[in-house]
Structure 1
Amino acid sequence: MQAADIVTLLVNSLTWAMATFLVAAGLTLVFGTLHILNFSHGGFFMIGAYAAYSIADALGGSGSMAVYLFGSLAAGVLVALLGLVVDRLVLRRLAGVEDAYVLIATYALLLVCEGSTKLLWGLNYHSVMPPAVLDGAWIAGNAVLPKLSLFIVAAGVVVFVGLEYFLNRTGPGRLVKAIAADPWMARLLGVNVRLVYTATVALGFALAGLAGGLLVSNQTLSPTLASAFVIQAFGVIIIGGMGSISGAFLGAILLGVIDAFGQWVLPGLPGLPFFVAMTLILLLRPQGLMGKAKH
């Protein structure tokens, strides 16, 4: 393998990793706080992507970086508002319910998202061109570095740093972590736990919508988009350690690199390296890379 091939594989693996982390970030944030595994998260990511597509189309296309970023942020706000509705109607009712029923309920919600997408946007495939500034690639020696891929990598890093700073260096973030660890004690101290839960859900859903907007140019839009990404996102948060933002980030990078190099070695078996790596990591460390073992 030439050096240029290695660089290309690394860029591809990091692009996959950061795209998956962008989807997984909101999922693991909600789980870490509410301890609810929201299977419908991929559906709201898909709605965010379609919303960003519609906004870009209404504003004359995605050639402008300003339209692209505005569409992504607007998609995040829209999905955050949907998250408030979902929290009120669904998630609050799942508190204290067995995990099997939670998965069934949120999977049903995923089906609602897919059905709504088909109803609003139809069954046709859609594609969105990246902004002109992100179109094309940089050439480094013999290596080709797509600008959109590098942007996605940068966006994933920014979201990770922002979440880590929020959770560990700000008062509201520390409050979220404290409530996640011991909501009963937080209530005794006079904290409005329900309000913090609602705000966390809104932020988690906003991250799903933002991810949809940022990744709208990175894949073809179809009603099956949710299922494809939610499996990858679940894999990342399980490997990283349930509820750990840093674990999801590290898990995404590790699985991305393994999957990319595995596909180079076994090009006829796409996806196999991903699942093999997941299995081996969980056998060696069942609690995940950054998870805590149960005693």
Structure 2
Amino acid sequence: MDQIPLLLINGLSWGMTVFLTAAGLSLVFGILHVLNFSHGGFLMIGAYLSYAIGAWLQTESLWGFLAIALVCACAVGMLGAVVERFVFRRLKGVSEAYSLIATYALLILCQGVVKLIWGIDFLSVAPPAELSGALAMGGFIAPSFILFVVVCGVAVFLAMDHVLHRTGVGKRVQAVAIDPAMAAWVGINVNAVFVWTVVAGFALAGLAGGLLSVNQSLSPEMGSALIIQAFGALIVGGLGNIRGAFLASVLLGLVTSFGDRLVPDVPGMFFFVALAVILLVRPQGLMRGMR
């Protein structure tokens, strides 16, 4: 019983790591209906950029770390504009199989670029000085960075939920996601919404890479590992639904944390068990559509 608070914190941290990965993925699917396998690769590029910029600036402050994460978001967002122009735009109206092949090829390309620039050795990013310790809470000690990841995940969700449901930009995005033709009839620039949504989705991948660079060992396989978990949350939550992705990430994170404590010899097994059970009970996911 005394380990329950720690398991809860670990589960929330795992869930927020998955949500930060899945946030941009869910946004792009909601508007383009493309399962973007390359999302993990661009998140990985964001993490490596965080490593490179941090090593260059030699900053150890929290504000410096957050600034680097924002720079990574902007850089990967610009890459997203290039991908939208030369890849996603050509995938409109083609079979979903071609989309999967094209985005998987992009993932492989991202891995190749990382190997070419940074090599195949594992790299690590030191946490900011303010997050290198631990916080005593009640009778247990929680690492500061784990709590930071939880706060970041919740903050990103609240920001995305506000933009999508409380602003005119969000209403236009939802309109295009539901019916692009009708949205165009009422004067919405559908192409501009497509472009900026993709840029935002890739920027979220870069931001996640920058924020999670401390929490992960950097390797060319980093993107592939994270994207599997993100797809699980995306499917359980309901394809393209930000609120569903957040709820699914929290649920799967808690199940995984407690499951690994019960069966430590098979880590991660309960993630797939929970995924299978939820989809058997509710195959459409917890929520539907971009709502």
Q: TM-score range by the shorter chain?
A: over 0.9
Q: Which residue does 1:258 correspond to in 2?
A: 255
Match 2:199 to one of 199, 202, 227 = 202
The reply to whether residue 166 of structure 1 matches residue 159 of structure 2 is no
Q: Which residue does 1:36 correspond to in 2?
A: 34
Match 1:48 to one of 46, 49, 52 = 46
- What amino acid is aligned across from residue 252 of structure 2 in structure 1? L
Instruction: Give the distance between the partners of 1:170 and 1:176, measured in 2 at CA.
Output: 10
Q: Which residue does 1:155 correspond to in 2?
A: 152
- What amino acid is aligned across from residue 173 of structure 1 in structure 2? G
The reply to whether residue 223 of structure 1 matches residue 228 of structure 2 is no
After superposition, the C-alpha distances for 1:79-110 in whole angstroms (9 at most, x for unaligned) are 00000000011001111211111111100110
TM-score by length of 2: 0.98
Instruction: Give the distance between the partners of 1:284 and 1:223, measured in 2 at CA.
Output: 36
Q: Which moved more, 1:78-87 or 1:183-192?
A: 183-192
- What amino acid is aligned across from residue 255 of structure 1 in structure 2? L
- What amino acid is aligned across from residue 169 of structure 1 in structure 2? R
Q: Which residue does 2:57 correspond to in 1?
A: 59
SS at match of 1:139: strand
Match 1:180 to one of 150, 173, 177 = 177
- What amino acid is aligned across from residue 205 of structure 1 in structure 2? F
Match 1:249 to one of 246, 249, 263 = 246
TM-score by length of 1: 0.96
Q: Which residue does 2:11 correspond to in 1?
A: 13
- What amino acid is aligned across from residue 28 of structure 2 in structure 1? V
Q: CA deviation at 1:141?
A: 3.7
Q: Which moved more, 1:187-196 or 1:236-245?
A: 187-196
- What amino acid is aligned across from residue 180 of structure 1 in structure 2? A
Unpaired runs of 5+ in structure 2? none
Instruction: Give the distance between the partners of 2:138 and 2:199, measured in 1 at CA.
Output: 44
Unpaired runs of 5+ in structure 1? none
The reply to whether residue 277 of structure 1 matches residue 289 of structure 2 is no
- What amino acid is aligned across from residue 57 of structure 2 in structure 1? L
Instruction: Give the distance between the partners of 1:81 and 1:120, measured in 2 at CA.
Output: 19
After superposition, the C-alpha distances for 1:196-237 in whole angstroms (9 at most, x for unaligned) are 100000000000000000011001111010011000000000
Q: Which residue does 2:125 correspond to in 1?
A: 128
- What amino acid is aligned across from residue 75 of structure 2 in structure 1? L
Q: Which residue does 1:240 correspond to in 2?
A: 237
After superposition, the C-alpha distances for 1:169-196 in whole angstroms (9 at most, x for unaligned) are 0001110001100100111222210011
Instruction: Give the distance between the partners of 1:48 and 1:141, measured in 2 at CA.
Output: 36
Q: Which residue does 1:142 correspond to in 2?
A: 139
- What amino acid is aligned across from residue 16 of structure 1 in structure 2? W
- What amino acid is aligned across from residue 89 of structure 1 in structure 2? F
Q: Which residue does 1:26 correspond to in 2?
A: 24
Instruction: Give the distance between the partners of 2:268 and 2:188, measured in 1 at CA.
Output: 45
Instruction: Give the distance between the partners of 2:214 and 2:255, measured in 1 at CA.
Output: 24
SS at match of 2:135: strand
Q: CA deviation at 1:291?
A: 2.2
Q: CA deviation at 1:266?
A: 0.6
Instruction: Give the distance between the partners of 1:77 and 1:137, measured in 2 at CA.
Output: 31
Q: Which residue does 1:290 correspond to in 2?
A: 287
Instruction: Give the distance between the partners of 1:134 and 1:29, measured in 2 at CA.
Output: 30
Instruction: Give the distance between the partners of 1:254 and 1:291, measured in 2 at CA.
Output: 17
Q: CA deviation at 1:66?
A: 2.1
- What amino acid is aligned across from residue 15 of structure 2 in structure 1? A
Instruction: Give the distance between the partners of 1:140 and 1:288, measured in 2 at CA.
Output: 35
- What amino acid is aligned across from residue 124 of structure 2 in structure 1? S
The reply to whether residue 107 of structure 1 matches residue 100 of structure 2 is no
Instruction: Give the distance between the partners of 2:176 and 2:50, measured in 1 at CA.
Output: 33
Share of identical aligned residues, percent? Answer: 54
Instruction: Give the distance between the partners of 1:60 and 1:160, measured in 2 at CA.
Output: 30
After superposition, the C-alpha distances for 1:38-93 in whole angstroms (9 at most, x for unaligned) are 010000000000001111111014x2112201110000000000000000110011
Q: Which residue does 2:76 correspond to in 1?
A: 79
After superposition, the C-alpha distances for 1:243-284 in whole angstroms (9 at most, x for unaligned) are 000000000000001111111111001111000100000000
Output the aligned Cα RMSD: 0.9
